[in-house]
């Protein structure tokens, strides 16, 4: 699974996710990536979110929308909201990670797996790549 969240010069957020699904997948199973609110969500009032992980748990927890709702209704930062929703997934026995970006350019990249491929770029073009 791959994903991206972006903030443009007009202050608009966008999120996208694309996946090949799950090895050895059967019966037409679909994960969270194409499900708006589960693996992909964007709202200028809160954040843009893209998830990757055990899809069934991201769907049941409506992870991407939940992060946005924690920010909108409880005033959490994108970082705290991201930590909370990944913790909820872990508490149910699932695992994975997400990337999120808010309208002020704050980023969050929480995950509870052994690793996650992540990358960021700032307004002035500074790039950071993280794998573990």
Partner 1 sequence: GQYVMVIHGGAGTILRSSMTPEKEKAYRTALEAALKAGYQKINAGSSSLDAVQAAITMLEDNPLFNAGKGAVFTHDGKNELDAAIMDGKSLKAGAVAGVTVIKNPIMAARAVMERSEHVMLIGKGAEQFAKECGLTIVDPKYFYTEDRWKGLQKAIEEEAEKNKRGNGYNPPGTGYPDYKFG
Closest CA to 119 of 129, 131, 107, 104: 129
> Can you give 92-107 as a three-state secondary structure string?
CCCCEEEEEEECCCCE
Number of residues that bind partner 1 (CB under 8 A): 78
Min dist CB 90 to partner 1, Å, is: 10
Min dist CB 67 to partner 1, Å, is: 13
Q: Which residues contact 128 (CB under 8 A, 6 or more apart)?
A: 119, 120, 121
Q: Is 1 in the site for partner 1 (CB under 8 A)?
A: yes
Q: Is 132 in the site for partner 1 (CB under 8 A)?
A: yes
Three-state DSSP at 131 gives coil
Q: Is 87 in the site for partner 1 (CB under 8 A)?
A: no
Cα angle, residue 27 at apex, residues 26 and 29 outer, rounded to 5°: 80
Active site residues: 1
Min dist CB 111 to partner 1, Å, is: 5
Three-state DSSP at 82 gives helix
Min dist CB 108 to partner 1, Å, is: 8
Site for partner 1 in 5-34 (CB under 8 A): 5-10, 12-26, 28, 30-31, 33-34
Q: Is 116 in the site for partner 1 (CB under 8 A)?
A: yes
Of 48, 59, 67, 81, the residue at the interface with partner 1 (CB under 8 A) is: 48
Per-residue CA distances from 65 to 114, 124, 126 (Å): 24, 29, 29
Q: Is 100 in the site for partner 1 (CB under 8 A)?
A: yes
């Amino acid at each position: 699974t791959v994903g991206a969240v972006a903030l443009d010069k007009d202050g608009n957020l966008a999120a996208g996710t694309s996946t090949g699904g799950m090895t050895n997948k059967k019966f037409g199973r679909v994960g969270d990536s194409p499900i708006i609110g589960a693996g992909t969500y964007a709202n200028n009032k809160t954040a843009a979110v893209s998830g990757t992980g055990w899809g069934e748990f991201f769907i049941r927890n409506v992870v991407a929308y939940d992060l946005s709702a924690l920010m909108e209704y409880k005033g959490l930062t994108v970082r705290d909201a991201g930590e909370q929703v990944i913790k909820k997934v872990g508490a149910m026995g699932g695992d994975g990670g997400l990337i999120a970006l808010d309208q002020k350019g704050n980023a969050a990249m929480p995950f509870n797996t052994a690793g996650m491929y992540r990358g960021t770029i700032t307004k002035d073009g500074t790039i950071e790549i993280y794998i573990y």
